[in-house]
Amino acid sequence: MGSFNSNIVTERNQRPSFNGRTILRAYFMRNGEYVPLANTQVSSVLLFRETVNTAPSTILEVSSGLVSDSAASGAVWRWALSGAGATGNHLVTGSGNLLSEDQYVPASSISCSSIYSVAEGRLAVVLNGIDGVSSVLRDGTTVSSNKQLSGEPAASYIDVWTVKLCAGCDWQTFINKTDFFQNNAVLLTTPLLVRTKERLYNKKIELGSIEKLKIGTEVIVENKDIDDSIKNTLRDGLITSGAMEIMKHNDADHTLPARVTVYDFVDTSSGVEVTGDNTFLYLFDTTVLTDTGAVGTKFGAATGTYSVQLKYTILEETILSPLMYFTVV
C-alpha cells in the first residue's frame, strides 16, 4: 500500500479495486530530468475502460492526437485543475490550480477530482471508491463515485494525461494502463505471521552528491496454511509508509561523539517513498554534511562511515530494521 498526505492509498501496481482509494501517479521526464509543470501546462486526466477503447483511435482525434469530445463523455472519471470546472475544448489556459499533497482530503469531491503536483515533474490523482465524491466530465455532467464506480467490472483501464512539456509546446496525451480487480480483500482464519528482511543497495556515496538511498524489503508470510496466491496479494499491500534515520559513526575518534544523527525519523517521514516492490527511497543530500550549522561542530569529517535504519508499519507491528552501513567518500 502507499500513503498520500498520511492517508492509506493503493498504488496502481498493488491490485487496486473500485471499492478503495487508488492513487495514479505520473512521472514526466525529458533528457534525464523531471519536467517542471505549471498550472498552464496541465489540462486533465481521464480514466477509460480499455476493453471499450482498445486502440488510441477510439478516444483520440486524428488531427490533434488529443481526447475527442465524444470519447470524453464516456470516461469513467475525470480529474482537472482545481477550480477549472468543465471546459468544452478541455485545454485550460490558466484557470484553476494544481493542488499540493497536503491539500488532499479523502472525502472531498474537490480533492478526488483534482490533479496534484507532488514534486517537480511528478503528478498524481486519487480515485476514491469509498466516500461519496463526485467529478465533472468535460460535457458538464456530474458523476458520483457511488454510481459511477460501483458498477465498474474488474478489467484493464487506461488513464490519459493531457499536458504540455514546455510553455510553448503543443498539448500531448500520455496513456498508462492499470488493472483493477473486483476485490482486493482476503479472509484469513488464523493470525497473520510475517517477517521481513531489509537490504541497503547503496554501499558508497560521493560527498557532494544528492543520491537516493534504496532499501529493498522482503515480506515473508510464514503461515503454512495460506495459499500462495493469497500470500502474493498480502506481500503487495502490507507496507504503507516508512521513515529513515541516518547517523554518522566516529568509532575511530574518541574525542567525538560515537554517533551523530544527521536526520531522524521525523525529519525523513514525509520524504520517504515506497515502490510497488516494497523498496524504500529517500533522497539524501550529502552537501549538508559539510554545513556545521546543520550538523554541528562535533560531527567530525564529512567522509566516513554512516548508517541508516528503516522504520515502517505492518498491520499493528512497528518494524525497526538493523543498522545498515554505507560509506561517504
Highest mean pLDDT: which of 75-84, 141-150, 196-205, 233-242? 196-205
Mean predicted confidence (pLDDT) in 9-32? 88
**Whether pLDDT at 91 is above 60:** no
pLDDT digits 0-9 by tens, 308-329 = 999 998 888 899 999 999 999 9
Position 141 scores a pLDDT of: 84
Who wins on pLDDT, 52 or 243?
243
**pLDDT at position 35, please?**
94
User: Cβ of 78: how many Cβ atoms within 10 Å?
Assistant: 22
- Using CB atoms within 10 Å of the CB of residue 297, give its burial: 0 to 12 exposed, 13 to 18 middle, 19+ buried: exposed
**In this predicted structure, what is the pLDDT of residue 88?**
44
pLDDT band at 8 (very low <50, low <70, confident <90, very high): confident
Whether residues 29 and 169 fall in one domain: yes
The answer to whether residues 14 and 70 belong to one domain is yes
Residues 56, 147, single domain; the answer is: yes
Residue 132 within any structural domain of the chain? yes
Average pLDDT on 73-92 reads 73
CA 45 to chain centre: 16
Residue 271 domain-assigned?
Answer: yes
pLDDT on residue 192: 87
* pLDDT tens-place string over residues 102-128: 999 999 999 999 999 999 999 999 999
Question: Residue 188 falls within a domain, yes or no?
Answer: no
Average confidence (pLDDT) over 151-155? 81
Measure Cα distances from 12 to 127, 154, 166, 174, 181 in Å.
Answer: 10, 14, 27, 16, 11
For residue 229, is pLDDT > 80? no
Q: Is 218 among the domain residues?
A: yes
Return the higher-pLDDT residue of 56 and 250. 250
Q: Which of 132, 148, 180 is the last residue of a domain?
A: 180
Mean pLDDT, residues 130-148:
85
Residue 112 in domain: yes
Residue 162 confidence (pLDDT)? 94
Burial of 147 (0-12, 13-18, 19+ CB in 10 A): exposed
> Which grid cell is 69?
469530445
Q: For 171, phi and psi rounded to 5 degrees?
A: -70, 145
Is 189 inside any structural domain? Answer: no
Domain endpoint, select from 180, 207, 223: 180
Q: What pLDDT score was predicted for residue 89? A: 46
Question: Is 94 a residue whose pLDDT tops 60?
Answer: no
Higher pLDDT, 133 or 148: 133
pLDDT at 269 over 80: yes
Distance CA(101)–CA(78), nearest Å, equals 18
Tell me: do 278 and 212 sit in the same domain.
yes
Question: Of residues 233 and 191, which shows the higher confidence score?
Answer: 191
The domain total for the chain is 2
If you average pLDDT over residues 270-290, what whole number do you get? 90
∠ Cα 310 315 318 (to 5°): 35
pLDDT of residue 289: 94
pLDDT of residue 241: 79
Q: What is the mean pLDDT of the chain?
A: 87
Q: Is there a domain that residue 186 lies in?
A: no
Tens of pLDDT, residue by residue over 173-201, are: 999 999 888 766 677 888 888 899 999 99
Share of the chain above pLDDT 90, in %: 47
In the sheet that holds 122-128, the strands lie side by side as: 2-4, 7-11, 21-27, 122-128, 116-119
**CATH code where residue 260 lies:** 2.60.40
Could you give the CA distance from residue 56 to residue 62 in angstroms, rounded to a whole number?
9
Residue-range definition of the domain harbouring residue 310: 194-328
Query: DSSP per residue over 249-282, as a string?
Result: E-TT-TTS-SEEEEE-HHHHTTT-EE-TTSEEEE
**Is 129 found in the same domain as 235?**
no
